[in-house]
Structure formats: structure tokens, C-alpha cells
Amino acid sequence: MIRKAKISDVENIAKIRVDTWRTAYSGIVNNEYLSSLNYEERANRFRNYLIESSNYMLVYEDEKSKKLFGYIQFGVPNEDNDVDGEIYAIYILQEHQKLGIGRLLMKAAIQALKEIGIKKTIVWVFNDNTRARKFYEHLGGTHIKDKLILIGNDELKSCGYLFNL
């Protein structure tokens, strides 16, 4: 089931974020940086995001267990003037990947973006994250540009995928 994130979800969302970064970005992001990720700090960020932001966050909740397996954040672009929407993050716990959860979250986010009048949205993905790049390409995203993103002390090349809504 996909639903809006609630304040009571932030600890679970933080766990998804930290655990997924550690598995998905091993070998891409510096191990020291990955080890430094902190559940509590991330939960505080998500709490503030849900309270203060006009952007959106949806979660995927298993109907039987009521556990969260993934989430997506999206809204207006942080810096890109060529698009009017951005998907900031989508993370699914490793053991629940390749089950269609990511596609469902993307579909829900794209529908929500359309409802607020967004015509073009972008998602950024690390260049070396070939699995995620294939995911976005499979969903119809077009690689339109690159940029460097600072993660810890390292600059990592990232690819921007455009989705025309």
C-alpha cells in the first residue's frame, strides 16, 4: 500500500535510507562516509522535512505486516531551471527490491506531480549506479545531463534522467 508519510514513520524511513545507502552505494560512495550515517540524525531530518517542507513523501507499507519497505520524496526542483519537478530520493530495502515497489512508488509520485501541474521532472542518480540507471531507463527516463555531487569529501558524477509527464 502506498500512502503519505507521517511523522510516526520517520524512524522507519531513516532506517530504510541508511540501510539502503550502505547496500546500494557500497563501492560507489566512500565506506567511511557510509559508516558514518546515523539513524537518529536522519530521522530528525525527515521529521523536519515532513513538518516544514511543501514537498512530498510517500511510503510503501506492507498491508499484512504494516512494515515500511520503501519511500519516495519529490516536489519542485532544488536547482534545475529546465524542469519544474524533481524526484529527490527513492529507496527500497534491498530484500524487497525487484518486486515492483519502486515502479509503484514512481507511478504514484508521477501522478501526484501531474496533479500539481508539473510537466517535466528530473531524478539524479550516481553514474556508477548502473542498476538504478537501468531502472529509470526502463521506466522511460532519458539521460539528459550530468553534474558532480559532493558526498562527504568526494565529488561523484551523477546523471540526470528526465521524465516528461
Query: Model's pTM, two decimal places?
Result: 0.94
Q: Is residue 56 scored above 90 in pLDDT?
A: yes
pLDDT in tens, 108-134: 999 999 999 999 999 999 999 999 999
N-terminal to C-terminal alpha carbon distance within the chain:
23
The answer to whether the beta carbons of residues 157 and 146 sit under 8 Å apart is yes
In a domain, 124, yes or no: no
In a domain, 147, yes or no: no
Percentage of residues of the chain with pLDDT beyond 90: 93
Q: What is the CATH number of the domain that holds 40?
A: 3.40.630.30
Q: Is residue 27 scored above 90 in pLDDT?
A: yes
CB atoms within 10 A of CB 33: 14
* Mean confidence (pLDDT) of the chain: 95
Domain that residue 72 falls in = 2-118
**For the chain, how many structural domains are there in total?**
1
In a domain, 32, yes or no: yes
